[in-house]
Every structure is written in C-alpha cells, then in structure tokens.
Chain A
Amino acid sequence: MPTDLSRRDVLRLGLVVAGAAGLAACTTASNGSPTPTDPGGPEDPDRALRAEIGRDESRLVALYAAAAAVLTGAVASRVAAVGARHDAYRQAIDPDGLATASATASGTPGASTAATEPALPPVTASTAVRVLTAAETAAATARATQAASAVDPSLARVVVLAGAGAASAAAVLATGRAR
C-alpha cells in the first residue's frame, strides 16, 4: 500500500538526483548531444522546459495541498504521500526554481502563488480523489510529450520517470488504494 515515502524511495531519489547531476556535469553526452555544464543556468537550452515542468509540478503540489483540506485520517496521509512525489520531481527537474523566477519576472501567477492559493474548491473526498486522478493522468501525458523536447538526455530521463510516477499515482488513486 502506498503510504509514507519509504526509506527505499528516499534512497532512490538520492540515486536519481545524483545520477542526473553527474550526467549534467558532463559537457558532452555519450550520444554526442551537448549537455549543459550548469543545469538551469543561462546557457542551459532546457531552461524554458525546466520552468514549464516546474510550474506544472508546483500546481500539482498545490492541488494536493487543497485536497488535504477535504480529506481526513489515514486517507489524507496516504494521498499526501502520493502528492509529496511532485515536490521531488520539481526539485529534480527545476532545482534552481526557474518556475518561480519566471512567474515573478512576468508578474503572472506561478509556483509561488499557486502554492498558497486554493487550487481545489470545497468538495467531497471522493471528488477530490477524482480530481487528483485526472490531474495525475494529464501530468503523465504531458511528461511523455515534454521529454521529447529536452536537449539534455539526463533531463529527458528524469522527465520520463516523473511521467511514470504520475501514471503510477493515477493508477493508485483510481483503484482506491490511496483511499
């Protein structure tokens, strides 16, 4: 049953982030594609993609936070654990907070405000879970497409894994395992 993030998940996160960081530090990927020496830096060709996915992941974090308001007990903690994954994905893909920076610079609502605004109106628990399931499904579809536009292969891998995680979360929510 998916409950809290397990020690294994924490170790996995460390391995993936360390792997991505190691790959990103290279100047040339094994397939010859250029990779940034500074992920998220001014020379990173994936800055816009990192910011876009960072915003998406921040919205999902906010959505789970809003859902927590209408869920109770064990269900609330299980759903919160599923939602916590999106913060891990955001940190792995947009470690420099480009999503927040771009939202601030443009004056548009972004990650910083999305995290504090209610993203889900007051609803029942079952509706909240349905909304989250739909959001996870949409995120999985989006990540599969976004991975194709990544220049850095290590970023593409992390984006694909974030999509796999979203698809898994949707399956968990849809089958009621998180309830």
Chain B
Amino acid sequence: MSESDSAVLLLDGTEAAVYAYGLVAARVTGAERSRALAAMAWHRVQRDALRARLTVLGSAPPAAAAAYTPPFPVTDAAAARRLAALVEDRLAGQWAGLAAAAPAARRTSDALAAQTCAVRSVSWSGVAPVWNGAV
C-alpha cells in the first residue's frame, strides 16, 4: 500500500475516532470525560496534519462522513470505554501501516503516534494486546 493510500485509511479512522470520542464523552464523567475530550483534541490535530500530508503527497483528502456507526451500542460508560479502547487499538495498527509505507524520515514520528494510540487504548481497557490493530 502506498503512503497516500495508508494516509487515506488512517484519516478515515481518525475522523471516526473524533466522532467516537463525542459518543464516549457523553457517557463518561469526571476525569474520564476530560481524558476523552483530550483524546478527541489530539486526534483532531492528527486529522489536520494528515490532510496536509495528503495534499503534499498530491492526493485530495477525502471528506469526513456525516456520522459513523459504532460496532456496538454505546449506552453506558462501560461500552464507551470499550469503544475508546477499540478505536485507539485500530488506530495504532493504522499508524503502523502508515509508518511502513512512509519514507524513513517520517517513520519515527508515525511510530510514536502508534505508541500514543496503543497506550491510550490500554488506559481505557487495562488490556495491552500483543499486536495492536491486528483484528
């Protein structure tokens, strides 16, 4: 997969994460809500950077979907935590995919973004998968 294709895939995942954290923030409270909003802000920054990167690569960044359907109903705090962990785990894998497709100069920063997502996934689930984003 080319760097552009990987970036498009990751951009879509990042847009979905921003949307998902809106759902998460609505179901959790206190410190967890603050964490959700901070994560949403981080993903927004990454989204803007990915759009700029795609433009530099000569690709038109696709528009975000109006809404994303979560893989399960997010009706309480437990489901919200599960959704946040799942989203971050998948994004860690997608960042790894982009790192692999990118030239060496961009790999380290992509790898660190993958680590940020992986650590955040653990913070929501308490479980550290051996391989992020593999399923």
Whether B100 contacts A171 by the Cβ 8 Å rule is no
Indicate with 1 or 0, residue by residue over B2-40, a CB within 8 angstroms of chain A CB atoms: 110000000000000000000000000000000000000
A147 to B126, CA, bound (A): 26
Interface string of B77-115 (1 = CB under 8 A from A): 000000000000000110111011100110110111011
Q: Report yes or no: A167 in contact with B99, Cβ–Cβ below 8 A.
A: no
For B114, list chain A residues within 8 Å (CB): 160-161, 163-164
Interface residues on B, range: 35 or more
**Contact indicator B131/A165 (Cβ below 8 Å):** yes
Alpha-carbon distance between A15 and B131 when the two chains are bound, in angstroms: 9
A31, A140, A164, A168 — which one has the most chain B CB atoms within 10 A of its CB? A164
Q: Which residues of A contact B (CB under 8 A)?
A: 1-2, 5, 8-9, 11-13, 15-16, 30-31, 82, 85, 88, 140, 143-145, 147-149, 153-154, 156-157, 159-161, 163-165, 167-172, 175, 177
* Between-chain CB contacts (< 8 Å), 6 pairs: A144-B111, A145-B108, A148-B105, A156-B107, A164-B132, A165-B118
Binding site for A on B (CB under 8 A): 1-3, 92-93, 95-97, 99-101, 104-105, 107-108, 110-112, 114-115, 117-119, 121-123, 126-135
